[in-house]
Amino acid sequence: MNHKNAIIESQQRISKYIHKTPVLTSQGINTICEATLFFKCENFQKMGAFKMRGATNAILQLTEEQRSRGVVTHSSGNFAQALALAAKSLGVTAYIVMPENAPQVKKDAVLGYGGKITECASTIEAREIASAKMVKEIGATFVHPSNDMDVIYGNATACLELLQEQPDLEMVIAPVGGGGLLAGTALTTHYFGNNGLAIGGEPSAVNDAFRSLQSGKIETNLHTNTIADGLRTHLGDLNFPILKKYVHEIICVEEQAILEAMQLIYQRLKIVVEPSSAVALAVVLNNKESFKNKHIGILLSGGNVDLQKLPF
Amino acid sequence: MNHKNAIIESQQRISKYIHKTPVLTSQGINTICEATLFFKCENFQKMGAFKMRGATNAILQLTEEQRSRGVVTHSSGNFAQALALAAKSLGVTAYIVMPENAPQVKKDAVLGYGGKITECASTIEAREIASAKMVKEIGATFVHPSNDMDVIYGNATACLELLQEQPDLEMVIAPVGGGGLLAGTALTTHYFGNNGLAIGGEPSAVNDAFRSLQSGKIETNLHTNTIADGLRTHLGDLNFPILKKYVHEIICVEEQAILEAMQLIYQRLKIVVEPSSAVALAVVLNNKESFKNKHIGILLSGGNVDLQKLPF
């Protein structure tokens, strides 16, 4: 299957299970940026993030027999909730491996969507061992949050909807964490755009993807001190080659710029987004000369933020 | 002119100067309320509040000669910004009388929209004297924020758009402060609804409208200690008779309920609203039995909130 057809088929496959999210604009933000920005609002997606697209697509690709044995993932973030809700909508059991120190609010969200939680120690190894155990013992299918082609194709449909509404975008900027959204965005921009460029936005504090494109191999982060908690993970062997081939550039932004962009989105667009969502706008705000007078798509990844911990 | 035609003509008159705002729903909020709620999102209106509708309508009703001499109002809230922006869009000068102790951020917003500020002492009398002086000396036309029939008809178009999208609402709930939004909502529900009821939501702390309907005369508030800062004013002689005739009921809610409703809107609808906007949802949350299984319109009045002072 080529990428182009896979993305079209993914859109058809998942359309009745997800929201077609709105594209918002703000005259005020355009004036500040001296450019024309189109915000694809995945904060309005079911369960509050684009992850619902990839999770739904991955489960729909399973056989009846696979579905009967359930799906498993390890995540303490949006993908845990997405897989739980997507599975519930499709009558499938979702087993979610979460670190035992994950915030109760995140565990409650997964439980609220009907997910079955297995707790493990708070290390990547422990997560992987626990997931592998579920796969072996229960026969559940493992779905990776970002390094899975069906997840990537599902994620790609966010940018596809955006381009269907605004075909002539000169660039689309998506945040990059695990690489699943940026890979989908880059494929879609390449196959469905009108010579548009795909650009990644990444916090400087966790600039593993930026360094990976420089070094040519998957880099990791020594620390994860960023407010953009959805972007702390690193790339995978399936999405990295896509990024290498189809992403024009990854641009890094400092924490203060992310915070200011987040505040601007709340003030001007009047919507609630999580810090990771603000990274793409921060890229534009920090590089006004490069983006001047351009028509730019901005992927807002989600809106699941702890209101008690807003940074302003 | 009868009310019905006046509202239809107002919609035609202002349509190209305002946003047609979206109507949002949330499965999560419906589950919590055990009812079906449709949120009319005036937080997405130009300048961030429904006030843009009434201000635009009032200016468009002026003669060329009147427009050439400008408009004046006294307000430190959304109406000041609305009149300034509406005037600017129509090439009219807006003189805004504001108390000298109004927050700089509000003055800046008015200045940003091109309004000319006159400062006065922080009393109702001082405001009225300053406004009257502008009318007398400059010949500007005074536009009251809520007690003006063209403002009321303009405001009414928010509910009209809602009913055009959801004709069979059993009730529409709007917050009540000065009475301009609720009066417009009540007229529209009466003339364009399908036997739907108009209900006012009011903070218990400033329940002047509730008491006015009981006593039959315009009551005022002894203090204005509510988080819903847009609802501290009292009714006027033009909107009060409309409320008496067309409003089914005004229901009061405590501060804690407003705060919880506001938080729910941020969490579930993923939108930024000001505290006044949360009052209508608080009414439903506090009276679940009365609203069970109903189809309810909720008017979210605006989204101009100081992010540094969010109550959560």
Q: Is B165 helix (H, G, I), strand (E, B) or coil?
A: helix
Same domain, A94 and A154: no
CB contact under 8 A, B272 and A273: no
Among candidate residues B82, B136, B89, B90, the one with its CA nearest the CA of residue B110: B82
Same domain? B23 vs B171: yes
Domain assignment of residue B7, given as a range: 3-47+148-309
A231 and A246 both lie in a single domain:
yes
| Contacts A24 to B, Cβ<8 Å | 44
Given the residues A75, A76, A212, A276, the one annotated as active site: A76
Domain stops at, among A92, A112, A142: A142
- Chain A residues in contact with B263 (beta carbon < 8 A): 307
Q: Which residues of B touch A309 (CB under 8 A)?
A: none
Task: Answer with the one of A81, A114, A142 that is the final residue of a domain.
Answer: A142
**φ/ψ (deg, to 5) at A302:** 180, 175
In this prediction, residue B124 carries a pLDDT of 82
Q: Is the minimum CB–CB distance between B263 and chain A shorter than 8 Å? A: yes
DSSP character string of chain A: --HHHHHHHHHHHHGGGS----EE--HHHHHHHTSEEEEEEGGGSGGGBTHHHHHHHHHHTS-HHHHHH-EEEE-SSHHHHHHHHHHHHTT--EEEEEETTS-HHHHHHHHHTTPEEEEE-SSHHHHHHHHHHHHHHH-PEE--SSS-HHHHHHHHHHHHHHHHH-TT-SEEEEE-SSSHHHHHHHHHHHHHSSS-EEEEEEEGGG-HHHHHHHHSS----S----S-GGG-S---TTHHHHHHHHEEEEEEE-HHHHHHHHHHIIIII-B---GGGGHHHHHHHHTHHHHTT-EEEEEE-B----GGG---
Same domain, A206 and A300: yes
B20 is catalytic: no
The whole-angstrom separation of Cα A197 and Cα B236 is 56
Instruction: Give Cβ neighbours of residue A279 (< 8 Å, ≥ 6 apart).
Output: A175, A201, A202, A203, A228, A231, A253, A258, A261
CA distance A310 to chain B (A): 9
Find the radius of gyration of the CA atoms of chain B.
18
Test mutation, A45, A270, A304, A309, chain B, max B CBs within 10 A: A270
Where does residue B64 rank: exposed (0-12), middle (13-18), buried (19+ CB within 10 A)? exposed
Instruction: Judge whether B312 is closer than 8 Å to chain A, CB to CB.
Output: yes
Helix axes A208-215, A239-246, angle to 10 degrees: 70
Residues in chain A with pLDDT values less than 70: 1
What pLDDT shows up at residue A220?
A: 95
Q: Which of B123, B142, B161 is the last residue of a domain?
A: B142
Candidates A24, A44, A270; nearest CB to B272: A270
Cβ–Cβ below 8 Å for B307 and A312: yes
Give yes or no: residues B68 and B123 share one domain.
Answer: yes
Distance in angstroms (rounded) separating the CA atoms of residues B198 and B189? 6
Is the same domain home to B246 and B297?
yes
Is residue B281 within 8 Å of B296, Cβ to Cβ?
no
- CB contact under 8 Å between A48 and B22, yes or no, is no
3-state class (DSSP) for residue B1? coil
pLDDT 10s digits, A219-260: 999 988 999 999 999 999 999 999 999 999 999 999 999 999
- pLDDT at position A312 is 87
A61 and A201 together in one domain: no
Residue A307 is nearest to which of B267, B271, B303, comparing CB atoms? B267
Indicate if A271 and A251 belong to the same structural domain.
yes
B36: helix, strand or coil: strand
How many distinct structural domains can be found in chain B?
2
Distance CA B28, CA B18 (A): 30
Provide the CATH number for the domain around residue A84.
Answer: 3.40.50.1100
d(CA A7, CA A160) in angstroms, rounded, equals 8
Do A152 and A117 share a domain, yes or no?
A: no
Q: Which residues of A touch B307 (CB under 8 A)?
A: 263, 266-267, 310, 312
B137 and B154 belong to one structural domain:
no
Residue numbers of B between 269 and 308 with CB closer than 8 Å to A: 270-273, 303, 307-308
Q: What is the pLDDT of residue A22?
A: 96
Question: B70: left (phi > 0), else alpha (psi -120 to 50), else beta?
Answer: left
Task: Note whether B43 contacts A270, CB cutoff 8 Å.
Answer: yes
Tokens of B159: 């509910």
Option in B48, B263, B312 nearest A270 (CB): B48
Whole-angstrom CA distances from A73 to A55, A87, A110, A136 are 10, 12, 12, 13
Q: Do A310 and B308 touch (CB under 8 A)?
A: no
Kindly state whether residues B208 and B290 are assigned to the same domain.
yes
Closest residue in chain B to residue A27, using alpha carbons only? B46
Question: For A132-143, how does the pLDDT look when each residue is reduced to its tens digit (9 = 90+)?
Answer: 999 999 999 999
Nearest to B131 by CA among B141, B27, A59, B300: B141
CB contact under 8 A, A270 and B307: no
Given this model, what pLDDT does residue A60 score?
98
Residue type, B180: G
Which of B113-150 are b and which e, b meaning 16 or more Cβ less than 10 Å from the residue's Cβ? bebbbbebeeeeebbeebbeebbeeeebbbbbbbbbbb
Across the interface, do A270 and B312 touch by the CB < 8 Å criterion? no
Element (H, E) at B242: helix B239-246
Instruction: Please give the pLDDT value at position B102.
Output: 85
Is B276 part of the annotated catalytic residue set?
Answer: no
Please give the model's pTM, rounded to 2 decimal places. Answer: 0.95
Cβ contacts of B303 on chain A, cutoff 8 Å: 270
CA angle in degrees (0–180, nearest 5) for A93-A99-A100: 105
β-partners of residue B16 are none
Could you tell me how many CB contacts below 8 A there are between chain A and chain B? 38
Which mean pLDDT values do the consecutive 10-residue runs of chain B (312 residues) have? 95 97 96 98 97 98 98 93 97 96 88 95 90 96 98 98 98 98 98 98 98 97 92 95 98 98 97 97 98 98 93 87
Please report where in the chains the tokens 């069979």 appear, as a residue. B168
User: Does the beta carbon of A309 lie under 8 angstroms from any beta carbon of chain B?
Assistant: no
The pLDDT value given to residue A262: 98
Q: What is the pLDDT of residue B123?
A: 86
pLDDT at A123: 86
Q: Which of B40, B46, B51, B107 is catalytic?
A: B51
- Nearest-5° Cα angle at A287, A282 to A293: 105
In this predicted structure, what is the pLDDT of residue A105?
83
Same-domain pairing of A179 and A207: yes
